[in-house]
Amino acid sequence: MKLIINKKDFFNILQTILIFTGVFIAWWQLRRMNLQTKADFTYRVYKDFLEWLDNHKECREWIFTLDKPLKQNFDKWEFDDYLGFFETIWSLKKRRLADEEMIYDTFSDYLISVYEANDFELKEIIDEIRKNEGKDFYEGVEQLYREMKEYEFKKGIVRRIRLHTPKSS
């Protein structure tokens, strides 16, 4: 059995194939641009975050040692600005404007270790602030912390426990 396709049908089939190929390439390019935009948003916040840490050396030192209570230095270190970065990250993530893996890779140590430091002192501070400011204050910080912990669980990431007790003077 011989299949005969006339010229008109052949060109219609070819045109359809080319259109689908063009649509696929456009979709693929838009997807790549979207991923690049997510990475750019995350990188910009990270760059600003590192700059903030450079301008708050005593706070940065504490973040890497967790050797004293946070509460007594919260205002002095302008720690609310530190938490503001995590609020921003959570907001970008919630709107799918930042990549989950990139957020985890760049920010998890900064949030998880501080959140869990000194027997979850930050949680106590947030709860105290909420009494005056409202129950949704620093909601993004806590939600991002929970999501990072869930991400670790899903990926099987084992974190070395970093619960520190302040040194006695």
User: Averaged over 139-166, what is the pLDDT?
Assistant: 80
Q: Are 122 and 70 in contact (CB under 8 A)?
A: yes
Q: What is the pLDDT of residue 22?
A: 87
Verdict on whether the full-model pTM lies above 0.85: no
* 165 pLDDT tier (thresholds 50, 70, 90): very low
Query: Residue 138: CB partners within 8 Å, gap ≥ 6?
Result: 83, 87, 126, 129, 130
Question: Distance between CA 49 and CA 66 in Å, rounded?
Answer: 18
Tens digit of each residue's pLDDT (9 = 90 or more) over 5-58: 788 888 888 889 889 888 888 888 887 787 788 788 888 999 999 999 999 999
Is 70 exceeded by the pLDDT of residue 1? no
